Copies of this chain bind each other. A is one copy, B any other.
Amino acid sequence: MKHFTSVNDIDDPMALVKEAIAQKNSKEIAQIGKNKTIGLLFFNLSLRTRMSTQKAAQNLGMEVMILNVNNDGWALEFEEGAVMNGKTVEHIKDAAAVMGLYCDILAIRCFPNLENKEEDYADNIIHQFIQYAKVPVVSLESATRHPLQSLADMITIQEHKIKEKPKVVLTWAPHIKPIPQVVANSFAEWTLASGYDLTITHPEGYELSEEFTKGATIETNQQKALQDADFVYVKNWSSYTDYGKVLPITEDWMLTNKKLEVTNSAKVMHCLPVRRNVELSDEVLDNENSLILQQAENRVYAAQTVLKKILETNF
């Protein structure tokens, strides 16, 4: 494995999940990262991703350099051939090349802007880093995917599933602002690659890109979708077809314990941060079936396993 930007960078997703669980349960301190440096570059806010990746790298003995690109560094230009007589001070091709000289691995968070679908789905920032930085690049959530979150989610399902092929439901949830499709895309992709039975439920108009959902059952009736679910993953996203828009919804899509009665005592998942009582009710989040903290904890082992793999393969 050189880069880690989607499930497609992985030969055997389930093997990676099992390796992560082995690392989590091992008390051994790895020194494979000694004298290696990772750069964590944030174009956007981060709490879990920042701390869990930093912790994972330190667990491996790596040095960590963090750059909040918009606050600490220079405004970047992304357009090839641009005449840079405006606000941007440095071209990505120079900045990425330089950072690749200083870091053995670069990890990057770069959200979509939700204004231009083609631009966002080209995922240019992360691809330009791969092109110009030369070193392995890890996505800390790009414009299309959040693979470290999805790997942590797969670890969590593996730890809690009681049947080989559980029914997993990904349900849309309400939100007050336009939110990227990233987590939903990535979760669908990884769930399907793991061979699970995936149902996606959302109001009409919230269809995700088929690139990520091929093989899933799409069901716009939430209650019907929840029937016999083993895991329910809750997440808001803005419209993909009417790109970046929050469409008016009349039904109540927030998950409650009442709605969950038809499930197979489903475990409930959310990637956090969660707007309580908007996306998901307190009663569900604080219930014993909630796995939100287990997911968050597994972020460390997801990152650690990916970084270890990259270190083993490339150095």
Interface, chain A (partner B; CB < 8 A): 29, 35, 37, 39, 42, 45-48, 50-52, 54-55, 58, 63, 65, 67-68, 71-74, 77, 81-85, 88-91, 94-95, 97-99, 101-103, 176, 272-278, 282, 285, 292-293, 296-297, 300
Q: Is the CB of A72 within 8 A of B50?
A: yes
Instruction: State the oligomeric state as a number of copies.
Output: 3
Can you show 26 pairs from A to B with CB atoms below 8 A apart? A29-B35, A37-B55, A45-B72, A47-B72, A50-B67, A52-B102, A55-B65, A55-B102, A58-B63, A68-B71, A71-B71, A77-B276, A81-B282, A83-B278, A84-B275, A84-B278, A85-B176, A85-B278, A89-B273, A90-B272, A90-B274, A91-B274, A94-B274, A98-B297, A101-B293, A102-B300
Q: Which residue of B lies closest to A282 (CB)?
A: B81
Which single member of B52, B68, B90, B277 contacts A83 (CB below 8 Å)? B277
> A296 contacts which chain B residues (CB < 8 A)?
97-98, 101
> A35 contacts which chain B residues (CB < 8 A)?
29
Complex: A46 Cα to B51 Cα, angstroms? 20
Complex: A277 Cα to B273 Cα, angstroms? 42
